[in-house]
A = this chain, B = another copy of it.
Amino acid sequence: MTETKKDNTEEKILNAAQNVFIKKGMDGARMQEIADEAGINKALLHYYFRTKEKLFDAIFKKVFSKILPNLMDMVYSDLPIEKKLGIFVESYIDLLMKNPFLPTFVLKEMNRNPEFLAKIIKGTGIQPDKIFAMFKKEMEAGRIRKMDPRDLLVNILGLSIFPIAARPLMTIMFFENDKEAYKTFIERRKKTITEFILHSILIK
Chain A residues with a Cβ under 8 A of chain B: 24-28, 101, 104, 107-108, 110-111, 114, 117-118, 121, 126, 128, 145, 147-148, 150-151, 154-155, 157-159, 161-163, 165-166, 168-170, 172-174, 177, 185, 188-189, 192, 196-197, 199-201
Contacts and interface: CB of A to CB of B under 8 A. Distances in A.
Contact of A169 (B27, B110, B159, B168): B110
For this chain, the copies found in one complex come to 2
Given A107-B107, A201-B199, A163 B173 contact: no
Contacts of A177: 118
Given A26-B28, A117-B172, A158-B159, 12 more contacts: A104-B110, A114-B168, A114-B172, A117-B169, A118-B177, A148-B185, A150-B174, A151-B192, A161-B162, A162-B162, A197-B200, A199-B200
A76 to B, nearest CB: 19
A185 B108 contact: no
A138 to B, nearest CB: 15
A148 B192 contact: yes
A166 B67 CA distance: 13
A64 B192 CA distance: 28
